[in-house]
């Protein structure tokens, strides 16, 4: 098992979680979520390289990247719509609904 890569994946995922939970800017949270996804992808690749049949996990990574891209598009669209309406995207200023 390629422990170094697994640990790197876990570290990237943890940074993403930490950032997503502590940061207050919607765009930055979005970037942290991307980090979380990439941590998962790295874990897939690290495991797949040790297995006789790596194809399945690698195809999972391709799917995950494609899905992450489409998710980001939707998210940025929502954030831009909110920015146009209000002029800010930080979560402290969410006033109409309690966070």
Partner 1 sequence: MNFASFYPEMVLLVGACIILLLSVFKFALRKYVLGLLAILTVVISFIVMQAVPGIREPAGNLFVQNDFSNFARGLLLVISVPILISSLDMFNDASKRQGEFVFLMLISVTGLMLLVQSSHMLSLYLGIELSSIPLYMLAGLKSHNPKSKEAVVKYFLLGAFASAMTIYGISLIYTTAGTFSFVELFNNIKGTPLEMAGFIFVLAGLSFKIAAVPFHFWAPDVYEGSPPISTAFISVAPKIGALIVLSRFISMGINPAASDNFANLVKWSIAAISALSMTYGNLTAIWQTEVKRIMAYSSIAQIGYMLIGIVVIAFSPEAVIRSEGARGILMYVTAYALMNIAVFSVIKVVEARRGGTTLNHFKGLSKTDPGLALAMTVSLVSLLGIPFAAGFFGKLLIFTAGVSAGLYWLVVLAVINSAISAFYYFGIVKNMYFEAPDQECLRTETKPGFSFAYLVAVICSVLTLVIGLLPWIYQLIAKASESL
Residues that bind partner 1 (CB under 8 A): 1, 6, 9, 13, 16, 20, 26, 29-30, 33, 36-37, 39-41, 43-44, 46-47, 51, 56-57, 59-60, 63-64, 67, 70-71, 74-75, 77-79, 81-82, 85-86, 89, 94, 96-99
Rounded Cα distance between 99 and 92, Å, is 8
* CB-nearer residue toward partner 1: 4 or 70: 70
Rounded Cα distance between 53 and 46, Å, is 13
Closest CA to 11 of 48, 38, 30, 29: 38
Find the shortest distance in angstroms from Cβ 4 to partner 1. 13
Find the shortest distance in angstroms from Cβ 41 to partner 1. 8
Long-range pairs of 84-87 with CB within 8 A, sequence gap ≥ 24:
none
């Amino acid at each position: 098992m390629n422990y170094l890569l697994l640990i790197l994946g876990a570290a990237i995922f943890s940074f993403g979680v930490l950032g997503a939970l502590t940061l207050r800017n919607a765009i930055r949270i979005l970037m942290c979520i991307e980090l979380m996804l990439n941590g998962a992808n790295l874990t897939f690749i690290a495991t797949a390289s040790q297995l006789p049949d790596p194809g399945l996990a690698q195809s999972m990574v391709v799917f995950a990247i494609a899905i992450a891209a489409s998710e980001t598009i939707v998210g940025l669209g929502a954030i831009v719509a909110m920015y146009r309406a209000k002029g800010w995207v930080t979560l402290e200023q969410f006033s109409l609904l309690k966070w």
